[in-house]
Amino acid sequence: MALVGGIPGILAAGSGSLCGMSPFSRHMSSLPLSHIRLTDPFWSRWQRTMVQNGLLAQYDQLVKTDRLKNFERVAAGETGGFEGYRFNDSDVYKWLEACAYSFGNGSLEPSADLKTKVDHTIGVVACAQMPDGYLNTFFQLMHPELRWRNLSMMHEMYCGGHLIEGGVAFFDATGDRRLLDVAIKFADHVDSRFGPGKRRSYCGHEEIELALLKLAKATGERKYRDLALWMVEERGKRPSPYLDEMIDEESIKLAPYMEKMLCKDGEYVGEYLQDHAPIREHTEVVGHAVRAMYLYIAAAELAMDMDDAALSDALTRTWRNLTHRRMYVTGGIGPSGDNEGFTFDYDLPNLSAYAETCASIGLVFWAHKMLEATGESEYADTMERALYNGALAGISLDTSRFFYDNPLESRGRHARSPWFGCACCPPNIARLIGNVGHYAVGVKDRCLLIHIPVGFEATMELGGVKTKVRAVSDYPWSGDFTLYIDPERPVDGEVRFRIPDWADDVETDIPGLEREAEFESGYIVVRKRWEPGDIAKFKIEMKPRWVAANPRVKDDLGRVCLAFGPLVYAAEEHDLGFEPQLFAADLDIDVAVESATMLEGIQALAVSGVRDGLEFADQLYAEVDDVQIQEAAAKFIPYYAWNNRGANHMQVWIRRL
């Protein structure tokens, strides 16, 4: 953490990452979607484009790839002929969830066309549900007699979890409860079969746990929370319920690759799906990255209302392992395509990085939960890192093309695609973009917390007084942030403004402040009586900075990465005119910041250095003394914006002179 404004003690409240701290408790929550509207040029452009373009393009894919048809055919009473992967229903639900946020976030009035498509989709989903609440078009069409036969691999609860999240989101955003009612019926069905005194099992792909927790909040029904807790706690205990599935012929037929995913040397380990140990014994992130994130999101949410140091310690420990040893500088996680997940400490290859878009999105969600549970800024630091880099790189600037995996180097072959056979990432990034206000700003009683200084307009209760808040910002391009706070009458309250871990200096200008701002948990804390029309200004110093990796990350040895504010930068062949792999940066020469009109108004960074010579054109090897290098300039762009001008060479970790 850097020093801030010459004021000592900013690290005072310490980091929540040390074990043995007090158990988690709820330090804040988010504003309802309809109470906050993002207004800065950066996020309002993403959200608008999503409504205008991205959501409609995704709907076309849902139709073209028969994802919707699977529902329509079930609704029509047909059997056989399911199209696609067994978990394709989840893409429809996630798209609906993304639409819900876009309808509620005030970025742009959705077109009648989009509304009709959403309406149709909800109607078809509802019609496909069975009278007992079951809903999964793969099983309904192909194997109605094998429902719930193979939980480790078949994703029935995973799909149901996304249905629940979609239902809750729609209800919250629009008051429309049609999808919520379907979700409740499904959750009741699951609750009637699984749980204490019923069948002991849980889904191989975590998701329903966090969804049930959202449902419990939305409905006030504690039974959903209890079921989620039971699932989280049963996972990893022995004997694993999946052992029975591995000797059940019907279950094996459904997923013949099950044993390969779950066993090592012929013994069940379950690491792939975090069934290796009970949650309180976890020390490292293992297995499939998205699954791990979704489990820890639910566990952190649960830990907030349980006086349970063992659980919060396990989460803190595992978090530390992830962010100190297994996370890319971009907030990408899960380096390996073999298990779509984690390998071992410091294994962070660049060219072959898997770093699934969904995994970074999951990291944003988990970081946000850890932030809510501790109030410590280090979680917001990681949330911001994953949001602006690893996650956002997953989508093209026009919101219509996607990366599934996010390498930190390209030799010209990697390109975004309009859709995938396994299309978890596109609707996932759509739902994240639609709901950014949820992550950027927090509230608690008398307190407004700015985790990420986005521009926004919001209404909130500050110490029980209705208050309008407006934040003007051009983040991530500028660190200037002005808050206009307008309570209906004077009210004692506090504003907490996160000091980013990358910032050297944050200045404040708050007229009428009688005592100096304080520092707690990585936030500047301004306590005062807020009067109608008050203004508070914050200025985060932003300048380009070179970042080095721990030398244990062998792939980054002798290399540096360029960052500016929350953004990690990359060099693309398009701007250099040659492959960035040939370039070596001179760190003694200042990096210049350049406003650019390209790529939706990014700021580019101009770097000086050298490039390898061209004498090798016709030969493979030469004497070192014969090799020339020449001075060169290289323009860097934000990593999230790479590959928007066609496939080409790209590099994040650049050689240094």
> Residues with catalytic annotation?
340, 424
Number of residue whose CB is nearest ligand FUB: 290
Among ligand FUB, Zn ion, none, partner that 19 touches (CB below 5 to 8 angstroms by kind): none
Q: Interface residues for Zn ion in 151-210 (CB under 5 A)?
A: none
Alpha helices in 473-570 (DSSP H): none
CB of 334 to ligand FUB, least distance (A): 8
Q: Does residue 272 contact residue 262 with C-beta atoms inside 8 Å?
A: yes
Binder to ligand FUB among 169, 273, 285, 290 (CB under 6 A)? 290
- State how beta strands 36-38 and 649-651 pair: unpaired
- Picked from Zn ion, ligand FUB, none, the partner binding residue 87 (CB below 5 to 8 A depending on kind) is ligand FUB
Give the residue with the Cβ less far from Zn ion, 128 or 358. 358
Number of neighbouring beta carbons within 10 Å of residue 567: 27
Q: Does 358 bind ligand FUB (CB under 6 A)?
A: yes
Decide whether 367 or 425 has the Cβ nearer to Zn ion.
Answer: 425
Among the listed residues 232, 395, 424, 432, the single contact to Zn ion using CB under 5 A:
424
Total residues at interface with Zn ion (CB under 5 A):
4
Q: Which of 24, 42, 71, 87 binds ligand FUB (CB under 6 A)?
A: 87
Question: In angstroms, rounded to a whole number, what is the distance separating the alpha carbons of residues 285 and 271?
Answer: 9
Indicate which of ligand FUB, Zn ion, none lies near residue 422 (CB less than 5 to 8 Å, by partner kind): ligand FUB
Report which residue type is found at 109: E
Q: Among 371, 424, 433, 458, which residue interacts with ligand FUB (rule: CB under 6 A)?
A: 424
Binding residue for ligand FUB, selected from 351, 422, 589, 629, defined by CB under 6 A: 422
Instruction: Tell me how far apart the alpha carbons of residues 10 and 422 are, in angstroms, rounded to a whole number.
Output: 45
The site for ligand FUB, by CB under 6 A, has a size of 8
Judge contact between 415 and 393, C-beta under 8 A. no
Task: Tabulate helix, strand, coil % of the chain (nearest 5).
Answer: 40, 20, 40
Which residues, 6+ apart, have CB-to-CB distance to 190 below 8 Å?
133, 157, 160, 208, 227
Under rule CB under 6 A, residue 205 binds ligand FUB: yes
φ, ψ of residue 575 to 5 degrees: the values are: -90, -30
Q: What tokens appear for 60 in the block?
A: 């076309």
Find where tokens 């304080």 sit.
518
Give the separation between CA 94 and CA 605, rounded to whole angstroms.
Answer: 36
Q: In sequence order, what E strands does 143-294 have?
A: 263-264, 267-268
Closest CA to 107 of 174, 29, 40: 40
Neighbouring CB atoms inside 10 A of 77's CB total 8
358 binds Zn ion (CB under 5 A): yes
Using CB atoms within 10 Å of the CB of residue 625, give its burial: 0 to 12 exposed, 13 to 18 middle, 19+ buried.
exposed
Amino acid making up residue 418: P
Judged by beta carbon, residue 362 or residue 442, the one nearer Zn ion is: 362
Identity of the residue, 87 or 439, whose beta carbon is nearer to ligand FUB in the bound complex: 87
Tell me if 356 contacts ligand FUB by CB under 6 A. yes
Q: Which is nearer to ligand FUB, 207 or 556 (CB)?
A: 207
Binding mask 315-344 for ligand FUB (x = CB under 6 A): -------------------------x----
**Of 410 and 428, CB closest to Zn ion:** 428
Task: Choose the contact partner of 134 out of ligand FUB, Zn ion, none; CB within 5 to 8 A by kind.
Answer: none
Positions that interact with ligand FUB (CB under 6 A): 87, 205, 290, 340, 356, 358, 422, 424
Positions that interact with Zn ion (CB under 5 A): 356, 358, 424-425
